Amino acid sequence: MLRRMAKQKAGQGKQGKQDNQGKEAGGRITPRAEDYPQWYQDVVREAGLAEPAKVVKGCMVIRPHGYAIWEKIQRDLDGRFKATGHQNAYFPLLVPESFIKREAEHVEGFAPELAVVTHAGGEKLEEPYVIRPTSETIIGYYFSKWIDSYRDLPLLINQWANVMRWEKRTRLFLRTTEFLWQEGHTAHATHDDAELEVRRMLDVYGDHAEELLAMPVVRGVKTESEKFAGALQSLCIEAMMQDGKALQAGTSHDLGQNFGRAFNVMFQTEGGARDYVWQTSWGVSTRLIGGLIMTHSDDAGLVLPPRVAPIHVAIVPIFRKAHERDAVLEAAARIKAQLEAVDIAPEGSRYRDFLSVVIDDRELRPGAKYYEWERRGVPLRVELGPRDLAKGQVCVKMRLDTAAGAGKEFLPEAEFVATIRARLLTFQAELLARARARLQEQAVTIDTWDEFQRVFAGDKSTFAWCHWDGTRETEARIKELTKVTIRCVPLPGQGPDPEPGACVLTGSPSARRVLMAKAY
């Protein structure tokens, strides 16, 4: 039986099996160079992260290994939200259909993707409900009941929830009809305050992506065509996947007074006047897991930074004879207990992050086990046999060769335990450094349309810093010709320093370069 990392109370009987041991385990992972989209699907399946729901169009089932990653993402983000003064709440799943129609741009953006409840309790409803595609409208309605005076502001709310958008083309984690996310909704007395909030939460997302997921991002502003339906302005973080495509990994919107007006969210100002509140909203979703996969993983499967890994260490006991078995398993249990007392949470953290360790004592040959734990992205593997025991050592292998360790290393048990925290944190830092270096090296500056076409020929993509004349028409034309979109106008300190130039398509004047790429 495979021992799970969770601490088990004595006498509570059998533990559950890892759910990856069913029919689907052990399939092939297509090499990235052969077919990148297929590689992605293979990694998701072989790591036991998720599978297409099939019987529910465009939905997915998030399997335990995938959901455990989401839990770590949630814990980190939730701590950051609370540290910046936000409170969680929960609003209804269903939204009256008429609510969606109150904000003109909003309904245009979301109407085609809605799932509609027309019947309930055996009767046809007088007014249909839609399943929330996002909650600006219904939360706006409650804000109008909760907010009366400037003393009630800012109101800083977050919701962890499922949402639904009926997408035509779906892909596990990246775009599914139902997905899990958080949506922040805040109301402020002034536009300045709202803008500060929008920027603050973008930085929370950027820091989370870099510090937890080891996924470097470019922080910027969406163009008018790409902004959220109903916002004045949308900020975003964009990550570069290994194939050079961009992933919009999080957005933070300045809603202005648009939803305030639509839902009559008014307050008395300090001066005694009545005004609409200034609102923001911001969200990240299970899509982050897709970005995580495509930032670090390789042809052997998933690679996970330790801070987001559900399992940190897999111990594979090795023995041939029955009498060896007991000694090896006893040593494995001893090492597991020592490792599980190691907390890798950042210093000063409000939560604990103890290592989770699996002893894989299934009746399989060791090679099959190594292969499986590699596919599942476990950062560190320990091999433990009678010879190691005799020498008081363990054989350690990191998921990737980095400054945290390369090849098989033989270490005294005590040294291994004493240094594991540092080793895993070095591995985390290395993954971020590698991803940063890739972004740096692959990003290009393009000044001519010929070169632009060459760089983005066929399926090719990268992060390209290009001049753009600032018009919606040029943006649309570039997309039509090449499928490349403007990912963002970078915020200060992101991308090349601003310098004027000529639009890569039209040659018209441009104030600064923007980030262009094909996108997921």
- Among residue numbers 64 through 83, which ones bind its own copies (CB under 8 A)? 64, 67-68, 70-71, 82-83
At closest approach, how far in Å is the CB of 479 from its own copies?
23
Q: Which of residues 35-64 bind its own copies (CB under 8 A)?
A: 53, 55-57, 59-64
What amino acid is encoded at 453 in this protein?
Answer: Q
> Could you say which of 111, 329, 511, 519 contacts its own copies (CB under 8 A)?
111
Cis peptide before 37 (omega within 30 of 0): no
Task: Determine which residue in the list 33, 34, 90, 347 makes contact with its own copies, applying CB under 8 A.
Answer: 90
SS3 for 237-292 is EEEECCCCCEEEEEEEEEEECHHHHHCCCEEECCCCCEEECEEEEEEEECHHHHHH
Residues 6+ apart with CB under 8 A from 319: 325, 328, 385, 386
Provide the minimum distance between the beta carbon of 405 and its own copies in the complex, in angstroms, as a whole number.
27
Is 117 a binder of its own copies (CB under 8 A)?
Answer: yes
Using the rule CB under 8 A, which residue among 134, 170, 186, 510 binds its own copies? 186
Contact pick of 44, 77, 114, 514 for its own copies (by CB under 8 A): 114
Tell me: does residue 113 bind its own copies (CB under 8 A).
yes
Q: Does 284 bind its own copies (CB under 8 A)?
A: no
Return left, alpha or beta for 48; rule: phi > 0 is left, psi -120 to 50 is alpha, else beta: left
Cβ proximity to its own copies, 244 vs 306, nearer residue: 306
Residue placing its CB nearer to its own copies in the complex, 287 or 467? 287
| CB closer to its own copies, 57 vs 479 | 57
**With binding defined as CB under 8 A, does residue 122 bind its own copies?**
yes
Q: Would the CA dihedral through 153, 88, 174, 428 be positive or negative?
A: positive
Q: Which of residues 149-178 bind its own copies (CB under 8 A)?
A: 151-157, 161-162, 164, 166, 168, 178
In whole angstroms, what is the distance from residue 162 CA to residue 164 CA? 7
The nearer residue to its own copies, 52 or 405, going by C-beta atoms, is: 52
Contacts with its own copies in 337-396 (CB under 8 A)? Answer: 350-352, 354
| Residue written as token pair 């399943």 | 131
Does residue 27 belong to the site contacting its own copies (CB under 8 A)? Answer: no
The answer to whether residue 311 forms part of the interface with its own copies (CB under 8 A) is no
- The closest of 282, 277, 263, 265 to 99, measured between CA atoms, is 263
Distance CA 236, CA 104 (A): 23
148 binds its own copies (CB under 8 A): yes
Which of residues 36, 39, 40, 141 is near its own copies by CB under 8 A? 141
Judged by CB under 8 A, the number of residues near its own copies is: 92
Pairing between β-strand 444-446 and β-strand 464-467 as defined by DSSP bridges? parallel
What's the one-letter identity of residue 98? S
Q: How far is the CB of 190 from its own copies (least distance, A)?
A: 11
**What is the smallest separation between the CB atom of 482 and its own copies, expressed in angstroms?**
28
**Which of 31, 38, 41, 115: binder of its own copies (CB under 8 A)?**
115
Lookup result for tokens 């740096």:
440
Contact with its own copies (CB under 8 A) among 196, 232, 429, 502: 196
Q: Which of residues 199-238 bind its own copies (CB under 8 A)?
A: 200
Nearest to 231 by CA among 257, 197, 205: 257
- The least CB distance from residue 472 to its own copies, in Å, is 25
Dump the DSSP string for 317-345: E--SSHHHHHHHHHHHHHHHHHHTT-B-S
Give the three-state DSSP class for 148: coil
